[in-house]
Amino acid sequence: MHTPHIFNRRRDGIDGLNNYFAVCEKANVPYVYAETRQKYCDVFFDFISLSEDKRKALTNNRDTVVNDAIAIFMRHSCNKSRYEISSLLISMLDMPIAQANACTQELLSLISGITER
C-alpha cells in the first residue's frame, strides 16, 4: 500500500522528495507528503503525479475534495495553521508536527478514494 512521505529537508535533502515524486508518478498514485521542521510541518498534495483520468475525477469532485480537505485541516490544525485548497493542489501550512502522520494519511485516503472509483 502507498504511504505518504514525511520529509525533512535537512535530513533527506531535496533528493528524498524528488525520489518520492518519481515513485508516485511511476505508480500513478497521489503525491502527498509532509515537510517537517522543529515544531510544525507543511502538508501538501499535488496532482502532478496522476494520470489525466484521475485529474478529471478530482476536478469533477471539486466540492468533495475541498470540503473534506478543509475538514481534515480543521481536525489537525492549530491557531497558527493556514491552508490553500483546490481540487488539484492542497497546502496545509504550519500544522502541528505531531499531526503529520494522521493528516497525510487522511489526505491520501481522501484523494485515493476519489481517484480509484
* Tens digit of each residue's pLDDT (9 = 90 or more) over 57-97: 999 999 999 999 999 999 999 999 999 999 999 999 999 99
Q: Tell me what pLDDT residue 12 has.
A: 85
Residue-wise pLDDT tens digits, 16-65 = 999 999 999 999 999 999 999 889 999 999 999 999 999 999 999 999 99
For the cut 80, the answer to whether the pLDDT of residue 1 exceeds it is no
* Residue 59 Rama label (left phi>0; alpha psi -120 to 50; beta): alpha
Supply the CATH number for residue 28's domain.
3.10.310
Q: Which domain holds residue 71?
A: 5-115
Number of domains in the chain: 1
